[in-house]
Structure formats: structure tokens, C-alpha cells
């Protein structure tokens, strides 16, 4: 059986037309069953979605494990499965930084430090927290930025799924975009966050089961990790694709053209913290937990799974460097008949999966794309309804009216996302595009939220102008580096910096601008009285003690265990 996987499918890759992978009837049956299953779950859960809290926060009834798996699954979409596999082919094991230093410390910080504030004030979103902490203006600005980002991100998911269908099944890329959008729109509009969360938990297990096939069979073909490393060195002499930290002492000694300062500060301190603690797409899942302890445990539980994700996402990209009989090219320079970095995962899936397993693998990818699209659309519906529509357009409508608006905005979000999918087609690669979006919207927002949460002296005017300045600074730096290559050496500190490295430093400087402007304006304006900040600022809030819990049930204990495992991984892959 293993021999069949390693020989017959590999020959398919030498053919010009992707459609020659020829999935069997059983493969299509598995895909159809999955589509029917997610639609059925959406309509079944509609009966339990009566109020706004049910639709937007899943009734706040999720256990720590369900909320944690949903939290993890909401991030395990096309960006994880396909985008980072392509980035691993382009940048090597350096892409794993976005899972370890670019995720674990921030997830633990969210669970232990920030969730008490989000949960105690019972906000429905991050813009909702800014409304309570500051004012309408800051909340509205962050809501607009987040709504734009989620729609653009949903479009990336659609585009990625369409690429998979084109490479593996030969389907028309436009047909794939519309089919996926219709299915997601129906089940999210029907069941809201309830539907999205339960589908994400199902998808979590399906993704892991299907995606594990590639690294297991790939390592068998490569004769283990050391055999894979030897093949990569033979195929790409002079390039270090297999060390996590060793080549980061200089900008020109690693394939990304980045220095360790960019990884530690730009990625670990800013982009990662911003994404995991302020992006409502993921934070919304934790807010659905049934109590504060469950809300704190959910990100900690998810952190253990997150550390394992590179073995199903980054490893396929490294295996492609070792075993594919041809080299892939950037999407921006690809010619007819050439495969791009974005096609790594579909190509590896076609290489190793025969009838039945190919359908399972395709379904695992679809599950990831569905999770990503559903998460973005449900988060967009919440922010639009509660942070933009209700405060600025209709303040005193009934709860039923807001639920109806949430459903209709889900449909509108899907339609706009389709347009964003067509925009995404014109960018060089999926992850370069996505990280640029994070530097626009997430990095400055983290500066605003963390200052407001930890320091009572920050004022509403300081928060608004700091957030606006940071966002505009990031967009300006992006345009400068695209249209004036000389500016790369200044902004990204080296002319060797590739696009991913440029995005990291761009995020760092936008955060610095946000923080400086916030501090300066706050020092010149009057802060709110301390009694108005109870439950919103660290020094003004009583956090419930966990002293009555046994050690093994305390979130802080398991956060320490998770961090120790994280440090061990850095040493192993140094």
C-alpha cells in the first residue's frame, strides 16, 4: 500500500494538466457528504439560536475544551494548510516561527492576562471593549478596520480553496469560489456562532486526520528527517532551509532576509500579540466559554495543539523541497503551465493519496477553508451589527432585529468576500498578502488595546489618534517599499529583506508610531475618572483568585507547562 502511494501518484505530477489526477467516484462522494453534513449542522442549530447572545456568542455555554478547539480551528484555515506550506517552500523552516514564537507566548498572554478583562466586562468584541474603555470614535475606527480585514481575509480563503480545486480536480476556479461561498453563507446565517463553532470542532479532527497523511508518507519516502534534510541540501545548495535560529544573526544568511530582532520584536512582540489578543475572529471563540476559568483555559489548551501544527503544515513545504522533481515559482512571475508556491499542498496531496484517501485529503482542505471563511464571516457580522450598525444607525431596536441584521450581514459579507477573492488572485503569494493586512490593522490595534488595558492614564483622544496614526503609517510604509525599493533598506533595515521580512518590520514600526502618538496625546488630554475604569483597566479591576483550585486545575500551571514545551522546541530545531 505504501509503495503504491510513493510511486503511482508521483507520476501524475509530471503531467501538464492538473485535472489528470482523476479523482474517483468515492473521492467525490466523500466531498459531497461533507458539504451536506455542514449544512445539516447549520440548520439543526438554528433552533437553538433565538437571542443575540446565542447568535453572536453561542450563548456563552462552551466548555474550556470546546472553546479551545474552536479557538484553534478558527485559525486552522487555508492560511495554515496551504499558505504556510507555500511559505515553507519559499522560506524553509523559518515559517515555523509564525507558529511558535509567533503564537505560543501571545496565546498564553491572552489566556492569563487579557481574558479576565474581556470576560468580566462581558464585551461581545474587541471594538466593544474599546467602546467601554474609550469612546464611540475609537470603537468605530477599530470596527471599520476589522470589518475590512475580515472580508479581505475571507476572500483569501475562497481563493485558496479554488486553487486546490483547480490543481486537484480540474474545476473552474470561479465555480469553486461560488460553491464554497454559498455553503458557508447558508450555515453561518442559519446558526450564527453556534453553527460556526460546532462545525469548527468537527473540522478540527477532520483536518488533522487528513493532513497527517502527507508528513507521515513523505518522511517514509525521504527516509526520515535527516534524509529529508540531506535531499534539501542537495537540491538547493548554499541555502539554509532547515535551521530555526542559526541563520538569523545576519540579514543575508537566511532565505527570508531577516534578522533575529525582526522575529523577536516585530513578530513575537507585535504581530503575534496583536493577532492573538485583538483579532476578534479568534478572541470571539474564547468569549463563548461558560465561565472565566474556562475562558482562561481555552487558549492554554489550544497552545499545545498549536505547537504541533507545523508538523502538518510546515513539514509538507519542507518535504516538497526534498522530493518534488521540479522547482516551484512565485505566483507573480509564474507562466502558463508552471506551479507556484501556493500549489505546494495540493501537489503533495496528489503525490501521496490514492482513491478514497485523495477525497479525504481534499475534504480536509475544504474543512480548513470552510473554518476560515465561516470564522471571518461570523466575526464580521458581529462587529457590523454591534459595533457599527447599532451605535451609529439604530440604537434601540429589538434583540430579534439585531439577530436578523446579523444574518443578513453574513450574506452581504459573503458576497463582498467573493470580490476580495478575485483581488487576492493578483498578489504574489497568499501569506505575503495576509501578513501585510495584519501589519495594517492588527499591529497598531494591539498598541491601543494593551495601553488602554494596562494604564489608566490613556485617554480617548490619545487612543483614537494613536490608532489612526499607526494604521496610516503602516499603509504608507507598505506603499513606499512597493514603489521605491530603496526604502526597503531603511524600513526593513536591509536591502536583502524579502516581502515577509518587510511585513514584520512594517508592523513593528507601525506599533511604535501608535504607542508614541497615544502617549503624547494622552499626556496633553484629560483621562477618565478612575471609578469609570473598574473592570476595564488592570489596576482598577479585581481579578477572581484561583487559590481554591488544585494546582493541576489552575490555568497558570498549564500555561507554564506549555511555555516549557515551547522553549524545548526552540532548542531542538535551533
CB within 8 Å of 442: residues ≥ 6 apart: 149, 271, 274, 275, 278, 279, 507
Would residue 500 count as lying in a domain? no
Backbone Cα Rg of the chain = 23
Would residue 564 count as lying in a domain? no
Say how many residues make up the chain. Answer: 574
Would residue 68 count as lying in a domain? yes
For residue 362, give the CATH number of its domain.
1.20.1730.10
d(CA 234, CA 146): 45
Which stretch of DSSP H or E encloses residue 372? helix 357-382
d(CA 31, CA 42): 17
d(CA 87, CA 96): 10
User: Is the Cα torsion angle 82, 83, 88, 94 positive or negative in sign?
Assistant: negative
- CA angle (548 as vertex; 546, 554 as ends), nearest 5: 45
Domain total of the chain: 1
Would residue 396 count as lying in a domain? yes
Residue 326 is part of which domain span? 2-431
Q: Tell me which residue of 530, 436, 556, 400 sits closest to 133, measured CA to CA.
A: 530
All three cell numbers of 69, joined, read 478547539
- Whether the pTM exceeds 0.85: the reply is no
Would residue 510 count as lying in a domain? no
Would residue 553 count as lying in a domain? no
- Write down the pLDDT at residue 509: 96
d(CA 369, CA 184): 10
Would residue 288 count as lying in a domain? yes
Would residue 541 count as lying in a domain? no
Q: What is the 3-state secondary structure (H, E, C) of 16-80?
A: CCHHHHCCCHHHHHHHHHHHHHHHHHHHHHHCCCCCHHHHHHHHHCECHHHHHHHHHHHCCCHHH
User: Is the Cα torsion angle 417, 422, 425, 427 positive or negative in sign?
Assistant: negative
SS3 state at 95: helix
Kindly give the confidence (pLDDT) of every residue in the chain, 574 residues in length, as a single tens digit, with 9 standing for 90 and above: 333 333 333 333 333 333 345 567 777 777 777 667 766 665 665 555 444 444 444 444 556 666 666 666 666 665 677 788 888 888 989 999 999 999 899 989 988 887 777 777 666 567 778 888 898 888 888 878 887 887 787 777 777 777 777 766 667 777 777 776 676 666 555 544 454 555 555 666 666 666 677 888 888 888 889 999 999 998 888 788 889 998 898 898 888 989 999 999 999 999 989 888 877 667 766 766 677 777 788 888 888 888 888 888 899 889 989 888 877 777 666 666 677 787 788 788 777 776 666 776 677 676 667 666 766 777 777 777 776 777 777 777 776 777 777 777 777 777 787 887 777 776 667 788 788 888 888 899 999 988 988 888 999 999 999 999 999 999 999 999 988 989 999 999 999 898 889 999 999 999 999 999 999 999 999 988 888 888 788 777 777 676 667 777 788 888 889 999 999 999 998 8
Amino acid at each position: 500500500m505504501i509503495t503504491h502511494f510513493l510511486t503511482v501518484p508521483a507520476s501524475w505530477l509530471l503531467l501538464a494538466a492538473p485535472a489528470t489526477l482523476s479523482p474517483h467516484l468515492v473521492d467525490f462522494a466523500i466531498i459531497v457528504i461533507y458539504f451536506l453534513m455542514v449544512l445539516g449542522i447549520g440548520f439543526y442549530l438554528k433552533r437553538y439560536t433565538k437571542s443575540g447572545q446565542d447568535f453572536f456568542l453561542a450563548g456563552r455555554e462552551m466548555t474550556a475544551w470546546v472553546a479551545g478547539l474552536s479557538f484553534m480551528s478558527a485559525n486552522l484555515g487555508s492560511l495554515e494548510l496551504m499558505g504556510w506550506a507555500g511559505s515553507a517552500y519559499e522560506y524553509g523552516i523559518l515559517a515555523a516561527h509564525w507558529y511558535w514564537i509567533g503564537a505560543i507566548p501571545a496565546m498564553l498572554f491572552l489566556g492569563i492576562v487579557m481574558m479576565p478583562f474581556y470576560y468580566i466586562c462581558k464585551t461581545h468584541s474587541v471594538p466593544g471593549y474599546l467602546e467601554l474603555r474609550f469612546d464611540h470614535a475609537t470603537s468605530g475606527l477599530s470596527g471599520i478596520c476589522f470589518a475590512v480585514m475580515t472580508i479581505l481575509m475571507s476572500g483569501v480563503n475562497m481563493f485558496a480553496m479554488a486553487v486546490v480545486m483547480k490543481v486537484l480536480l480540474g474545476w473552474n476556479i470561479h465555480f469553486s469560489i461560488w460553491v464554497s461561498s454559498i455553503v458557508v453563507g447558508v450555515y453561518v446565517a442559519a446558526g450564527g456562532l453556534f453553527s460556526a463553532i460546532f462545525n469548527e470542532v468537527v473540522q478540527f479532527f477532520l483536518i488533522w486526520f487528513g493532513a497527517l497523511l502527507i508528513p507521515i508518507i513523505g518522511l517514509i519516502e525521504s527516509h526520515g528527517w535527516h534524509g529529508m534534510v540531506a535531499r534539501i541540501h542537495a537540491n538547493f545548495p548554499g541555502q539554509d532551509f532547515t535551521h530555526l535560529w542559526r541563520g538569523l544573526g545576519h540579514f543575508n544568511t537566511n532565505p527570508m532576509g531577516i534578522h533575529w530582532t525582526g522575529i523577536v520584536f516585530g513578530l513575537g512582540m507585535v504581530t503575534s500579540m496583536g493577532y492573538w489578543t485583538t483579532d476578534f475572529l479568534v478572541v470571539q471563540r474564547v468569549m463563548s466559554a461558560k465561565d472565566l476559568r474556562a475562558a482562561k483555559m481555552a487558549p492554554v489548551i489550544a497552545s499545545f495543539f498549536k505547537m504541533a501544527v507545523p508538523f502538518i503544515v510546515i513539514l509538507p513545504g519542507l518535504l516538497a523541497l526534498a522530493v518534488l522533481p521540479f522547482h516551484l515559482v512565485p505566483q507573480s512571475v509564474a507562466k502558463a503551465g508552471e506551479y507556484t508556491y501556493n500549489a505546494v499542498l495540493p501537489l503533495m496531496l496528489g503525490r501521496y493519496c490514492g482513491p478514497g484517501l485523495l477525497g479525504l485529503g481534499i475534504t480536509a482542505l475544504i474543512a480548513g477553508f470552510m473554518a476560515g471563511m465561516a470564522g471571518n464571516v461570523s466575526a464580521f457580522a458581529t462587529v457590523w451589527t454591534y459595533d457599527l450598525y447599532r451605535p451609529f444607525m439604530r440604537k434601540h431596536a429589538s434583540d430579534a432585529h439585531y439577530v436578523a441584521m446579523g444574518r443578513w450581514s453574513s450574506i452581504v459579507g459573503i458576497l463582498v468576500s467573493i470580490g476580495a477573492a478575485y483581488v487576492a488572485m493578483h498578489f504574489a503569494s497568499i501569506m505575503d498578502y495576509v501578513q501585510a493586512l495584519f501589519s495594517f490593522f492588527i499591529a497598531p490595534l494591539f498598541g491601543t488595546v494593551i495601553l488602554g488595558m494596562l494604564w489608566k492614564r490613556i485617554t480617548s483622544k490619545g487612543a483614537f489618534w494613536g490608532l489612526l496614526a499607526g494604521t496610516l503609517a503602516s499603509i504608507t510604509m507598505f506603499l513606499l517599499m512597493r514603489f521605491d525599493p530603496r526604502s526597503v533598506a531603511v524600513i526593513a533595515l536591509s536591502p536583502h529583506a524579502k516581502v515577509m521580512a518587510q511585513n514584520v518590520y512594517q508592523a513593528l514600526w507601525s506599533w511604535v508610531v501608535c504607542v508614541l502618538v497615544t502617549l503624547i496625546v494622552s499626556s496633553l488630554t484629560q483621562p477618565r475618572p478612575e471609578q469609570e475604569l473598574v473592570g476595564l483597566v488592570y489596576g482598577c479591576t479585581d481579578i477572581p483568585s484561583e487559590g481554591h483550585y488544585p494546582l493541576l486545575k489552575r490555568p497558570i500551571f498549564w500555561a507554564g507547562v506549555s511555555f516549557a514545551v515551547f522553549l524545548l522546541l526552540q532548542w531542538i530545531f535551533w
